[in-house]
Structure formats: structure tokens, C-alpha cells
Amino acid sequence: MMIVNLVDSGRDAPSVAEEHNIDAHMIRRWGREFHTYEKNSFQGNGNPVQTDEEARISQLEKELKQVRMEQSILKKAINIFSKSDS
């Protein structure tokens, strides 16, 4: 965040990059991420950066996928048992 603040204060990304031995493209990416996601920026550990709404949508999509898989298994089980009853 300190690097982003340096660029926001008027310093150009290439000079900040050279001073801190960081690629200028990375600094610009950090700036975009920070200005887009603010408090949700820089989650780390490979976690995707998401707004609270995006995180909720992601959770709901995960639950929907699970329910659809369970439904598919139940349909197959019903099909198997209905054939064995005949």
C-alpha cells in the first residue's frame, strides 16, 4: 500500500519501481487493484480479490454446484432402483 500511496502522491511508477526494485507494471496493477477493491485489496495467499458482493455470489455459486451434483446423484439412484423393482 505504501508503494501505491507514493504513486498516488504524484510520483511516477517507473521511478518508484526503480527505487524499490519492483516492476512498474506490478505497481500499476497494485494501484488498479487498490482503487477498485479498497479494503478488500491485497488478500494474499493466492486468494482472489473480491468485493463483499462478489464473495457472496461466489459462495452461492459453489452451493448451487453442490446441490446440482447431489440432485444428479439422486436421479441416478432413483433410476437404478426403479429398474431393479421391475
Structural domain total, the chain: 2
16 and 28 together in one domain: yes
Please give the Cα distance from 80 to 2 (Å, whole number): 62
59 and 79 together in one domain: yes
44 and 56 together in one domain: no
45 and 64 together in one domain: no
Positions of the chain with pLDDT under 70: 1, 39-40, 42-48, 85-86
pLDDT number for residue 69: 97
Please give the Cα distance from 39 to 15 (Å, whole number): 26
Please give the Cα distance from 83 to 64 (Å, whole number): 29
pLDDT number for residue 11: 85
pLDDT number for residue 71: 97
37 and 65 together in one domain: no
Please give the Cα distance from 54 to 77 (Å, whole number): 35
Domain with 58, as residue range(s), is: 50-86
Burial 66-80 (b: 16+ CB within 10 A, else e): eeeeeeeeeeeeeee
pLDDT number for residue 65: 97
pLDDT number for residue 45: 63
pLDDT number for residue 67: 97
4 and 35 together in one domain: yes
58 and 38 together in one domain: no
